[in-house]
A and B are shown apart, each in its own frame.
Chain A
Amino acid sequence: GQNIDQPTEMTATEGAIVQINCTYQTSGFNGLFWYQQHAGEAPTFLSYNVLDGLEEKGRFSSFLSRSKGYSYLLLKELQMKDSASYLCAVTDSNYQLIWGAGTKLIIKP
């Protein structure tokens, strides 16, 4: 079966750094996405990785290792507004998007 695992919940301190991990087992791979979803709102696109390595975009970075079936989202200089759920999703060989359940990130002052 197809599976995406990410922690259910994480807590971090304002100003700190947090890394949210995602592991996947899918039938084929055509890219990995990270989305941010604030409570009561729709997801917003954060990043897309299709090749191994680190993609940096401001305070957010996303890393991919295809051989390990592993990705992480790194958030630096955390702000209170970063409190949200972070969704990992993988496109399989049929270009179907498989969603993880999301990681709820709680930022404390």
Chain B
Amino acid sequence: GAVVSQHPSRVICKSGTSVKIECRSLDFQATTMFWYRQFPKQSLMLMATSNEGSKATYEQGVEKDKFLINHASLTLSTLTVTSAHPEDSSFYICSAKGGPSGGLETQYFGPGTRLLVL
């Protein structure tokens, strides 16, 4: 149980284009979903927290107009990187909370999306 999928796993795009990343909880309803970014050899950095049907809460320093988050259902959240630039190249990881074990506060992570902007 507690499987989270993420799609695509890897994407290469040109500078100025937009990229959408999907995060799905496959076998549980996620009360909350989170989006993280991780640069090589650095810690996870929380970008935003999203609850189904409401606006996402962004961490300080994260541009909400650049990183659009939509949480349309209890099993799906999307992150759109708009007008991507090379400095947006990173490993984007989603997580979902509300799975069956470890308490309702346990976050289960998707496999991540590696974004490369040329």
Interface residues of A (CB under 8 A from B): 30-31, 33, 35, 40-45, 47-48, 50, 87, 91, 95, 97, 99, 101-102
Given contacts A45-B102, A45-B106, A50-B103, contact A87 B44 (CB under 8 A): yes
The minimal Cβ–Cβ distance linking A47 to chain B, given in whole angstroms, is 8
Is B105 within 8 A of A30, CB to CB? yes
Residue of B nearest to A87 (CB): B44
Could you show 26 A-B contacts with beta carbons less than 8 Å apart? A30-B105, A31-B103, A31-B105, A33-B107, A35-B109, A41-B111, A41-B112, A42-B93, A42-B110, A42-B112, A43-B93, A43-B109, A45-B106, A45-B107, A45-B108, A45-B109, A48-B101, A48-B102, A48-B103, A48-B105, A87-B44, A91-B105, A97-B105, A99-B43, A99-B44, A99-B46
Please name all residues of chain B whose beta carbon is closer than 8 Å to the beta carbon of A44 when the two chains form the complex: 109
A-B contact count (CB 8 A): 44
* Smallest Cβ-Cβ distance to A104: which chain B residue: B41
Give 6 new A-B contacts, CB below 8 A, not counting A43-B93, A50-B103: A42-B6, A42-B93, A48-B101, A48-B105, A97-B105, A99-B46
- The count of chain B contact residues (Cβ–Cβ below 8 Å) is 18
Q: Mark B91-118, 1 if CB is under 8 A from A, else 0.
A: 1010000000111011111111000000
Interface string of B69-90 (1 = CB under 8 A from A): 0000000000000000000000
